[in-house]
Structures are given as C-alpha cells and as structure tokens.
Amino acid sequence: MRIQRATLETCGEATGTVVAIDVIRAFTTAAFAFAAGARDILLVGEVEEAWALRQRFPGSLVMGEVGGIKPQGFDLDNSPSALIGLDLGGRRLIQRTSAGTQGVVRSTRATALLASSFVCASATVRYLKHQPPKSVTFVVTGVGFHADGDEDAACADYLAAVLRGEAPDVAPYLARVRASSDGRFFLEQPPRFPLSDMDCCLSVDRFDFAMVVERRDGLLAMRAVL
C-alpha cells in the first residue's frame, strides 16, 4: 500500500483512497455526533450550502464554524464536548468547517473517501486494511490559516505507522497535538476553545467506527461504519 500526503491546496489531485484528517476539531466533533446517534452527516464547503440543505431536508441540524466561530443561526458549534449527553438519534446533520470539510469537498478525484481523527484511529486503519486500497492519501487539512497543522500531521503519521504494521506509542503524537498552533489556542487566557474539547480530541480510539463518505445524489454523505 502506497501512503501519500496532501494538504487543502493539493488534495484535488489525489486519487485512490483519501482520508481527510481534522483533529482540532471537525472530525473529532463529527465522531461525537455519530456517538450521540446522528444518522449521517452531509459535508459542505460553504455556509450557503449548509442553509440550502437545511431547507431541503427538514429536521436536519447545521453544525460547524467559520474561522473557529459558530455562525449565527447554526444549531451546533464545532465542539465535541458540547455533544456529550445530547440525543441526536436518527438526525441528519450538515457540517461546514474551515478545514476538515474542505478536505473532503476538494478531494474530487478520490475513488473512496474517509474522514478521521484520533478518536477513531484504529477503526479507520481496520477499515483501510479490510479494503485494501493500492494507495492512501492522508489530507492534513490544518495546514494554512497561519497554522502549522501538526495536530493533523501527527494523526497522519500515527495512522501510517499502524497501517505499516507497527505498534507505535501514541503519547508523542498526542504531545504534538498539544504543541501545534491550534493546540496552543487552548493555552490562551481565556482559552479560545473549551478545555474539554482538547480532552475529547486526545481520546484515542474512543469510538469503534470509521467515518466513510459516500457521493450520493450530488451530496457528500458521511456515516459511521463499524
């Protein structure tokens, strides 16, 4: 299996299987939404698309952020800890974020698409090994916006090591999450994001499902796959 890397700038050229990674916080939040019972999550690149889909699918909820801030009128923030204890049983969500969902939307040449973070790392690897694809491209979505994206690069490094059959110690990878430019937002006074969100982002293998994205009737629909 050939393992490659891409960013938001280059993922449009990636073919084969593509895994978009966003640890802080989009695809950690998405995993917590599935754990809360969400049926599926439609991934979009623009706020206007999210509004249009909410009109198209009555009862759906819009989740996400622009520049780290929940847009006025969105139902849910891009916060995994805010979803703990919620009952989203059977609900369709629509997610728009500045990095994570962009990685999926821009990977137009991919033949198979997944989203991932540390909370579903082993499940993602298990899914990939079950296929198995000739090549996997990890999209490090956090690079840009004056950010180093090392939280996502760390997750990509960890997934790649496990895919190669190694048994890496996860601690150094999680240390990189904390030390990344987005990770340092949690050290600000006051923190830019809830401290409980960082705890969620560092919860390795909290969930036993992979997040698989299907192209369906012009939509990018993500579901949890055990």
* 60, 219 contact by CB (below 8 A): no
Instruction: Kindly tell me the sign of the dihedral angle through the C-alpha atoms of 168, 173, 157, 21.
Output: positive
Count of domains forming the chain: 1
In angstroms, the CA 79 to CA 184 distance is: 16
Per residue in 192-224, pLDDT (tens digit) is 899 999 999 999 999 999 999 999 999 999 999
In angstroms, the CA 143 to CA 160 distance is: 18
Q: What is the CATH number of the domain that holds 214?
A: 3.90.1560.10
Q: Which domain holds residue 54?
A: 2-225
Q: Give the model's pLDDT for residue 43.
A: 98
Is pTM beyond 0.85 here?
yes
Per residue in 158-185, pLDDT (tens digit) is 999 999 999 999 999 999 999 999 999 9
Q: Strand 92-96 to strand 40-44: parallel, antiparallel, or no bridges (unpaired)?
A: parallel
